[in-house]
């Protein structure tokens, strides 16, 4: 599994990685809680950069007019890091992952030095793009090969169309499927994508054989730095959060107090009404439970203290980006638009689609000033591939109707159908199963690699009664920006 430009990295076993943290790898900074006085400068081309936020994940300070700062940390924080300001390129590790942090390594007197160098952008950031990759979730060599041969070339080809416009990516958690020895393969994918990537921690990116939730994050820390942070590009403020709480026998969606305190201080620097984009792994609120007829959302697919997050986001034009459920969904709650993404791996690399019928793929976002637009990019397809249409009778529950799966649908879309060249009206949106998912995923021995995958009810299925054999049918879907997509029965 080698490739052009890959920087080889040797990672020891998960057990070996866990051992140093069990032995308290840095007793001054991470165990005793003795205060650490951190100082340094943020510079660009030899000059200090003022007003840059510096944090240890709890306290936030700002650089002075000469770019210098001083921060007293409580001694239990592993990192000091910056909120990258607008107008500067994203610093990266040699592998292409974002490098905005330094380990806190105090001397015997409890002092530490950390400085940061920023490179200015030569083009405007007001128009920029980013990609949201939910759940690459590779577990073995077969899945890694598919990730590299299918997803990475698709991304690289798309990025090539951006020209000189700034672009970056977000790996939205479950970068691995428990096999953390494969993190270098994710790094290889980032390197070959051609754009810098930020990372979100997922429930499959942690250690399980450790004494606390904090210790479970340590391998992620070694590769990608802090699990929550912020940055600005153009007019948009971006935040990454960690909503994975490992309790020793499973996980729940939860944002701890330190993060909420930090987020409150971070957003305190952001003007009311500004566009704020928050990325995390578990959905803040998945509506899957309603589709399945349950009375409340399960703890493992929704954030339990979400009301506190909604309260902090209330003053802003806020979007939440998440993954985890392997289905595509838009949720509107407390004035916040949450985008729950279909996944890079689809139904755990068992085929070409997620279990709700959404193709393997990722989110494509475009920012123009404070306006955000989005599409779902299906791996291996053109950008206009936004639906799949099935012939009459494909759904046995609706034998006289055609069926369309329009995975990126939200209530601002309009979906109509034409028969014989004549517009017949709006299609009916209702809960249903994608016929292709039924074909590929139904049965005790299907799909072959993941027999526990089953078709999932979703809310982006559309139906229309048609005459005769249902041929000569065209479905037309228009999104909230007036962009129209068409499809015919496959």
Task: Please say if the pLDDT value at position 17 is more than 80.
Answer: no
The confidence score (pLDDT) of residue 489 equals 87
Please state which CATH class domain 28-117 belongs to.
mainly beta
Average pLDDT over residues 213-241: 97
Location of each CATH 3.60.21.10 domain in the chain: 127-378
The confidence score (pLDDT) of residue 4 equals 33
Looking at 3.40.50, 1.10.260, 1.10.150, 2.60.40, the CATH number of the domain 388-488 comes to 2.60.40
Among 7-16, 61-70, 304-313, 404-413, the minimum mean pLDDT is found in 7-16
Q: How confident is the model at residue 8 (pLDDT cuts 50, 70, 90)?
A: very low
More confident residue, 293 or 28: 293
As a whole number of angstroms, the distance between CA 266 and CA 450 comes to 42
CATH number of 127-378: 3.60.21.10
Residue range 111-123, pLDDT digits in tens? 999 999 999 999 9
Location of each CATH 2.60.40.10 domain in the chain: 28-117
Residue range 318-364, pLDDT digits in tens? 999 999 999 999 999 999 999 999 999 999 999 999 999 999 999 99
198: closest CA among 266, 130, 123, 286? 130
Percentage of residues of the chain with pLDDT beyond 70? 93
Give me the chain's average pLDDT, please: 93
In this structure, what token pair is assigned to residue 107?
């001397």
Cα 210–Cα 215–Cα 219 angle in degrees, nearest 5: 100
The confidence score (pLDDT) of residue 232 equals 98
Cα 201 to chain centroid distance, Å, stands at 9
Q: What are phi and psi of 192, to 5 degrees?
A: -80, -10
ω before 125 within 30° of 0 (cis)?
Answer: no
The confidence score (pLDDT) of residue 471 equals 78
As a whole number of angstroms, the distance between CA 361 and CA 353 comes to 9
The confidence score (pLDDT) of residue 468 equals 79
Q: How confident is the model at residue 472 (pLDDT cuts 50, 70, 90)?
A: confident
Task: Please say if the pLDDT value at position 259 is more than 80.
Answer: yes
Residue range 162-199, pLDDT digits in tens? 999 999 999 999 999 999 999 999 999 999 999 999 99
């Amino acid at each position: 599994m080698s490739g052009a430009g890959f920087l080889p990295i040797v990672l020891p076993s998960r057990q070996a990685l866990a051992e140093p943290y069990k032995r308290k790898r840095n007793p001054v900074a991470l165990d005793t809680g003795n205060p650490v006085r951190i100082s340094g400068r943020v510079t660009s081309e030899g000059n200090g950069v003022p007003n840059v936020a510096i944090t240890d994940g709890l306290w936030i300070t700002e650089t002075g007019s000469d770019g210098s700062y001083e921060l007293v940390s409580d001694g239990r924080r592993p990192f000091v890091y910056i909120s990258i300001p607008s107008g500067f390129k994203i610093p990266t590790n040699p592998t292409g992952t974002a490098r905005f942090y330094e380990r806190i390594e105090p001397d015997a007197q409890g002092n530490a030095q950390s400085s940061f160098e920023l490179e200015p952008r030569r083009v405007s950031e007001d128009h920029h793009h980013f990609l949201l990759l939910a759940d690459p979730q590779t577990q073995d060599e077969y899945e890694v090969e598919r990730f590299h041969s299918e997803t990475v070339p698709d991304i690289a080809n798309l990025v090539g169309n951006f020209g000189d416009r700034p672009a970056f990516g977000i790996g939205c958690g479950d970068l691995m499927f428990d096999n953390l020895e494969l993190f270098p393969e994710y790094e290889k994918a980032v390197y070959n994508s051609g754009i810098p990537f930020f990372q979100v921690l997922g429930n499959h990116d942690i250690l399980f054989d450790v004494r606390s939730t904090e210790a479970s994050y340590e391998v992620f820390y070694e590769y990608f730095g802090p699990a929550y942070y912020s940055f600005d590009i153009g007019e948009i403020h971006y935040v990454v959060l960690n909503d994975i709480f490992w309790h020793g026998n499973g996980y729940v969606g939860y944002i701890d107090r330190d993060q909420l305190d930090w987020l409150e201080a971070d957003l305190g620097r952001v003007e009311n009404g500004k566009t704020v984009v928050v990325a995390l792994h578990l959905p803040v609120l998945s509506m899957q439970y309603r589709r399945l007829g349950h009375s409340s959302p399960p703890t493992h697919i929704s954030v339990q203290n979400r009301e506190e997050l909604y309260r902090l986001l209330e003053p802003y034009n806020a979007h939440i980006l998440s993954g985890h459920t392997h289905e595509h969904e838009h949720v509107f709650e407390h004035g916040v638009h949450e985008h729950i993404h279909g996944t890079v791996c689809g139904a755990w690399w068992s085929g070409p689609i997620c279990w709700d019928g959404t193709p393997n793929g990722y989110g494509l976002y475009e920012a123009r000033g404070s306006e955000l637009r989005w599409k779902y990019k299906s791996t291996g397809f053109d950008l206009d591939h936004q639906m799949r249409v099935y012939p009459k009778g494909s759904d046995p529950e609706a034998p006289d109707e055609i069926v369309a799966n329009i995975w990126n649908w939200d209530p601002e879309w309009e979906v109509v159908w034409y028969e014989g060249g004549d517009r017949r009206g709006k299609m009916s949106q209702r809960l249903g199963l994608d016929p292709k998912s039924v074909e590929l995923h139904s049965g005790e021995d299907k799909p072959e690699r993941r027999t526990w995958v089953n078709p999932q009810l979703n809310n982006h299925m559309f139906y229309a009664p048609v005459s005769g054999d249902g041929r000569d049918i065209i479905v037309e879907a228009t999104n909230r920006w007036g962009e129209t997509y068409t499809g015919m029965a496959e």
